[in-house]
C-alpha cells in the first residue's frame, strides 16, 4: 500500500511537466491531524551530518548543514488507507496530490506578495480550485476515465466519502474500547 502513493504521484506529475523536471517528488501515507488530508513540504530536506564519517567510521558528528533543493514530499493522511475500494482511494489521493502540486507550482511562480483584499483572495482561491479540477480531469482522461462535468458534484462526492470514512473510523475506535 505504501508503493501506491509513489505510483500515483508519478501519474499526477504528467499534468505538471514543469514540476516533473524541477523536483524529485515523493509521496507517502503519514499520520496527520484528523481534518488535514495532505500537506506538502518543498525543499525541506536538511542534512547536518558528516556523510563520509558516518559511512566510513560508522559515526558522525554534526557537520555543516546542507539543504537539498529540488525535493518535494507530499504527506497523505493515513486514514485514507481505510477506503476499501482502491480506485476510489486512488481518485481521492490523486486529487489531494494535484492540489498540493499546484500549490508548489504556484509558490514557485510567486514573486512578491502584495496586500490583497478579501474579495481578491476569494477570487484567487476560486481560480485555484478550478485549476485543480481541470488538472484532475486531465489526469482522469490520461488514465482512460471520463471527465467529471461539475466541480460541485466532485466536491459533494468527496465530502460524502470522507464523512462515511470518519464515521467508520469513529465506530472502530468505539469498538476497541
**Cβ proximity of 70 and 21 under 8 Å:** no
Q: Which residue blocks in the chain are alpha helix, DSSP H?
A: 2-12, 17-22, 51-57, 86-109, 118-142, 151-176
- Would you kindly state where each structural domain of the chain is located, as residue ranges? 2-176
Query: In this predicted structure, what is the pLDDT of residue 168?
Result: 86
Does an H or E element contain 114, and which? none
Residue 112: band (very low, low, confident or very high) from pLDDT cuts 50, 70, 90: very low
Query: In this predicted structure, what is the pLDDT of residue 121?
Result: 80
pTM across the whole model: 0.78
Residue 34: band (very low, low, confident or very high) from pLDDT cuts 50, 70, 90: confident
CATH 1.20.120 fits 2-176, yes or no: no
Q: Judging by beta carbons within 10 Å of its beta carbon (0-12, 13-18, 19+), is residue 30 exposed, middle or buried? A: middle
Query: In this predicted structure, what is the pLDDT of residue 96?
Result: 95
Residue 93: band (very low, low, confident or very high) from pLDDT cuts 50, 70, 90: very high
- Quote the mean pLDDT of the chain: 84
Amino acid at each position: 500500500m505504501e508503493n501506491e502513493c509513489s505510483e500515483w504521484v508519478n501519474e499526477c506529475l504528467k499534468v505538471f511537466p514543469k514540476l516533473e523536471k524541477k523536483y524529485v517528488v515523493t509521496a507517502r501515507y503519514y499520520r496527520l491531524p484528523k481534518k488535514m488530508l495532505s500537506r506538502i513540504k518543498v525543499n525541506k530536506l536538511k542534512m547536518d551530518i558528516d556523510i563520509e564519517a558516518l559511512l566510513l567510521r560508522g559515526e558522525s558528528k554534526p557537520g555543516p548543514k546542507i539543504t537539498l533543493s529540488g525535493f518535494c514530499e507530499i504527506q497523505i493522511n493515513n486514514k485514507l488507507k481505510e477506503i476499501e475500494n482502491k480506485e476510489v482511494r486512488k481518485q481521492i489521493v490523486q486529487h489531494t496530490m494535484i492540489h498540493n502540486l499546484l500549490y508548489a507550482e504556484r509558490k514557485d511562480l510567486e514573486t512578491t506578495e502584495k496586500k490583497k483584499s478579501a474579495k481578491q483572495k476569494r477570487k484567487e482561491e476560486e481560480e485555484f480550485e478550478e485549476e485543480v479540477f481541470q488538472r484532475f480531469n486531465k489526469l482522469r482522461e490520461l488514465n482512460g476515465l471520463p471527465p467529471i462535468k461539475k466541480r460541485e458534484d466532485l466536491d459533494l462526492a468527496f465530502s460524502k466519502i470522507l464523512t462515511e470514512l470518519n464515521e467508520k473510523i469513529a465506530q472502530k475506535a468505539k469498538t476497541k474500547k
